[in-house]
Each structure stands twice: as structure tokens, then as C-alpha cells.
Structure 1
Amino acid sequence: MLLFCSVCGTSLSVEEGSASLEFKCQGCGYTLPISKPVTSRVYPRLKDLDEVLGGPSAWENAQVTEERCPRCSHNKAYFMQLQTRSADEPMTIFYRCQNSKCAHRWKE
């Protein structure tokens, strides 16, 4: 959590005051006593796998292979290879079931 000085607008820093911790402005000297625990949590929104792979249109040019879907056992799937790690690591293969009712995605 980032607080700003109500007098000059500079960000406040935490410092030890006379009795306890306080927020203090380095610009004008304004202080704000800390009377209770201060916490803040930010949970970033995780990207959907399709976003990471280039959006829904990325599968339009994908090749077809005879890979069995682990969910519905359909015997064909689309696949793409992407370099997701460093260059000396093998490429990751992403699959999507060709059965439109299933469309399960997995990787190898």
C-alpha cells in the first residue's frame, strides 16, 4: 500500500516516531501515526492459456496429429510448438482436442 502526503503529495515512508511507527513525508515533514496493522494484498489476474499462446486465432493454423485426447479419447488433436523456456531447452508442445465438444487443452 502506498500512501501520499495530504499536504505536498510526496509518498510517505515508514519511520520510527516518538512512541511508535508513523508515516512521514520526506518533503514537508508531515507525520501520520500508525494506529493499527497496515496490510495490503494484490492478486494479479492470471492470463488465460489462449492469451499466452497468441489468442484464439493461433489455433487456426495449427497442424493436426494423431494424438489421443486424455479427456474424451478422441484420436486427433491440433498441436503447436512454442519455445517457452531458454533456447537450450526443448520446445513445449501444446495440444487441443479436435473434437469441438471437448476442445480440451494439454501440453507436453
Structure 2
Amino acid sequence: MLFCPTCANLLLIEKTHSDFRFFCKTCPYVFVVEQNFEKKMQLERKEVDDVLGGKEAWENVDQIEAQCPKCNNKRAYFMQIQIRSADEPMTTFYKCTQCSYQWREN
């Protein structure tokens, strides 16, 4: 991906009659590709937050009869969290009491 040095929008690519060029949709910037080039960047991964609160969130939750998709155990811990807008139903998260596999139902 290349960005316009003038307005910072994403540059689009098009093939002209003789070559390729990058152009900006919002300003007149054009970059003609005269030779092959390649640029690789190593991206740093962000640390993922546990939206369910980690191990502590599962300490005092209730159990219910629910079949684990991984080990077919019949009991699971569950909690309900509102993750979408208020007019949508809550999402139920399950954690198997035997193998600790986690899954959800909308």
C-alpha cells in the first residue's frame, strides 16, 4: 500500500497504455511506476486484551447443562455479556468444566 504524500489518502493503481501508475482520487498526485520494486515490512503484533476478563472472570460464575463441542462434557460455566447494541440480545459465553474449552452463542 502506498499513500499520497500530499493528502495522505490511499493511492490506487491503474494500467495505462504503456505502464502502470499510482494515482490519488482526491488530488492530482500521480506516481508512474518505472521499474519493479518490492517493499516488505515486519509488523508488530498488538497484545490482545482478554475481553472476558481473564481467569478471574470465570471464578464465580454459574454452571449450566451445555454440551462441550470439543469433549462432549455435559456441564459448562456460563456468563452473558452485552457486546452489541442494546436492541440486540446478549451473547452467552461458555467454558467447559472438564477441558476449559470456550465457545459462545449469540
**TM-score, length basis structure 2:** 0.58
| Structure label with greater radius of gyration | 1
**Equivalences, count:** 82
2: CA distance, partners of 1:88 / 1:44: 34
Q: CA deviation at 1:67?
A: 0.7
Per-residue displacement from partner, 1:32-63 (whole Å, max 9, x unpaired)? xxx98585754643626xx1111210000111
Secondary structure at the counterpart of residue 59 of structure 2: helix
Quote the residue 1:103 is aligned against: 100
2: CA distance, partners of 1:46 / 1:106: 21
Percent of pairs with identical residues: 44
- In structure 1, the gaps of 5 or more residues are 1-12, 21-34
Secondary structure at the counterpart of residue 80 of structure 2: strand
Structure 2 residue 44 is matched with structure 1 residue 47: no
AA in 2 matched with 1:98: T
AA in 2 matched with 1:82: I
CA RMSD of aligned residues (A): 3.5
Report which of the two has the higher share of helix.
1
2: CA distance, partners of 1:46 / 1:93: 24
- In structure 2, the gaps of 5 or more residues are 7-28
Quote the residue 1:58 is aligned against: 57
1:44–1:70 CA distance, 2 compared to 1 (3 A): same
Moved over 6 A (4+): none
2: CA distance, partners of 1:84 / 1:40: 36
2: CA distance, partners of 1:105 / 1:77: 9
